[in-house]
A and B are shown apart, each in its own frame.
Chain A
Amino acid sequence: MANEMSTVERQVPRTTDSSEPTRARPVFVPRTDIYETRDAIVLLVEMPGVAPDAVDITLEKRVLTIHGHSVDPEHGAYRQIHAEYGAGDYERIFTLSEDIDRERIEAAQQAGVLRLVLPKAEPVKARKIQVRPA
């Protein structure tokens, strides 16, 4: 029962578009769960240490960018003696395949997890074309 869960931390590959962030700070790819229901796509993005007001979400055309900015914790006179996770920012970009109703997107960040609900746009009504006999 112990340690059923494990974590792997991954860093953003810097070679995707040959650009670099200006700040020399690690950027992590947050672990994400994505599921689809009948009328929405729901994303659960794991960003520990990120406050709700430090999350930036942009949707441009079909490209969804999630950025979480974390603040280095103050430890005063404390000295770090063991480290398994690092402080840094989080960034992840998704390409959406379905049309999203931009007006009704909901986002909530709680306990380091961002929940993003992307409602699907009303499907265009299928038109039936009747063929008349000539």
Chain B
Amino acid sequence: MQPFEFGRFGFDPFLEMRRLQSEMNRLFSGVGTAGVQQFPPINLWLGENSVVVTAALPGVSPDTVDLTVHENTLTLQGRREPKAEDADATWHRRERSYGSFSRTVQLPIHADPDQVQARFINGVLEIELKRPEADRPKKIRISAA
């Protein structure tokens, strides 16, 4: 993303302001639900003819995640299993949650189900969805009379 880099002038004085703004938006977006987010938390990035969805899924095996694309919705479904290795284990802390999750995201564009790329890097799932050819905006030339 461009704003997070140093600009042509060496230092971007608005970088901190923009970061603060996005941080504020993020903090207050969950006011109604007391800061509790849905799982998995997602970020959305919009490009010219595609959209990128990133989801933080630490500890989830990528082959247990199901992705469904329908028109402008993307559904992520999966399950996070606890590692039941020690039956006699005593718990000190249990902060991570386990179980099934399902989340549907509304995309700003229609997505072509045949052109979906998904990668799983260090617990972050990155899905790139392309706009179908027929849905892309077209430039119309005006011919001289």
Contacts and interface: CB of A to CB of B under 8 A. Distances in A.
Interface of A: 1-9, 24, 26, 31-38, 41-42, 44, 46-52, 72-86, 111-113
Interface residues of B, number: 58
B124 interface: yes
Interface of B is mostly: mixed
A7 B5 CA distance: 29
Contact of B47 (A6, A73, A78, A85): A78
B58 interface: yes
B93 A2 contact: no
Contacts of A42: 86, 89
A4 B96 contact: no
A84 B58 contact: no
B4 to A, nearest CB: 6
A133 B102 CA distance: 74
Interface string B9-34: 00000001000001101100100000
Given A33-B93, A112-B124, A5 B44 contact: no
18 contacts: A4-B39, A4-B101, A7-B38, A35-B91, A44-B83, A44-B96, A46-B123, A48-B58, A50-B122, A72-B4, A76-B47, A79-B47, A80-B1, A83-B43, A84-B37, A85-B56, A111-B59, A111-B61
A47 B56 CA distance: 9
